[in-house]
């Protein structure tokens, strides 16, 4: 019996056909599974993206809001230190920008009761007369903490907040608000994380004399939405 050491052309053709069929069968099987898996994966990814995107956006907004409030707290901490220092050195505590403890910063004037009520009305978020946008007309009553033209965090174009201005008072120890705020932060600026954010403030004047004095009240906010991002300090 003669053994075939090498396959004949017929054998080669048969082997090739069998191999080709096996490859095609395997490819069909693999491609079918891959397409199904791909379709399933794509659908899952789309679902996850649709579900996760709002959550990620909320997390981002939440982080910015938290950062803004933390920065406001830092401003209030420095204001408290300034108040204590001026109380010791000048006889009456005052906040940055105040010429004296009984002088307002910003345009909320009148009695302490009416002025504080006006500020709180603007910040209470009840939907009536709220100061809830960086370009709201209410902003004209407020002053910039670090300066509207500060290189690190200028006021957004169209904003109506102004800088504290010098007032004629020969016996007043206070200086310009922006100058005193920057000095408290060693020349550094705290910047809002919001596109239209900018830290602003007003001071409702204190008053009285002797044992009947009452302190000024400081309000600090982020111009992005002052009714959402604000805090106050009343010594």
Edge-to-edge order in the sheet of strand 143-144: 143-144, 199-204, 217-222, 230-233
Strands 143-144 and 230-233: unpaired
Domain ranges of the chain: 63-233
Length of the chain, in residues:
235
Residue-by-residue pLDDT tens, the chain, 235 positions: 333 344 454 455 565 556 555 655 654 555 555 655 555 656 656 665 566 556 555 557 788 999 999 999 999 999 999 999 999 999 999 999 999 999 999 999 999 999 999 999 999 999 888 999 999 999 999 999 999 999 999 999 999 999 999 877 767 877 899 999 999 999 999 999 999 999 999 999 999 988 899 999 999 999 999 999 999 999 9
Spatial CA neighbour of 180 closest among 191, 166, 168, 170: 166
Whole-number Å distance between alpha carbons of 209 and 38: 79
Please tell me the distance from the alpha carbon of residue 225 to that of residue 192, in angstroms, as a whole number. 11
């Amino acid at each position: 019996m003669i053994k075939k050491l090498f396959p004949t052309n017929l054998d080669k053709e048969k082997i090739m056909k069998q191999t080709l069929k096996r490859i095609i069968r395997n490819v069909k099987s693999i491609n079918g599974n891959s397409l199904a898996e791909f379709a399933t994966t794509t659908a899952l990814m789309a679902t996850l993206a649709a579900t996760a995107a709002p959550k990620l956006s909320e997390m981002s907004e939440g982080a910015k809001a938290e950062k803004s409030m933390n920065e406001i707290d830092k401003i209030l901490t420095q204001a408290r230190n300034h108040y204590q220092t001026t109380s010791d050195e000048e006889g009456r505590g005052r906040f940055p920008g105040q010429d004296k403890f009984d002088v307002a910063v910003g345009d909320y004037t009148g009695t302490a009761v009416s002025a504080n009520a006006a500020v709180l009305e603007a910040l209470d978020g009840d939907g009536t007369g709220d100061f809830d946008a960086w370009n709201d007309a209410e902003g004209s009553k407020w002053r910039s903490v670090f300066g509207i033209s500060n290189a690190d965090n200028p006021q957004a174009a169209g904003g109506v907040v102004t800088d504290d201005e010098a007032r004629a008072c020969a016996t007043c120890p206070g200086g310009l608000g922006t100058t005193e705020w920057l000095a408290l932060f060693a020349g550094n600026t705290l910047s809002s994380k919001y596109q239209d954010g900018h830290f602003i403030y007003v001071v409702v004047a204190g008053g009285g004399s002797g044992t009947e004095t009452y302190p000024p009240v400081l309000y600090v906010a982020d111009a992005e939405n002052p009714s959402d991002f604000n805090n106050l300090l009343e010594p």
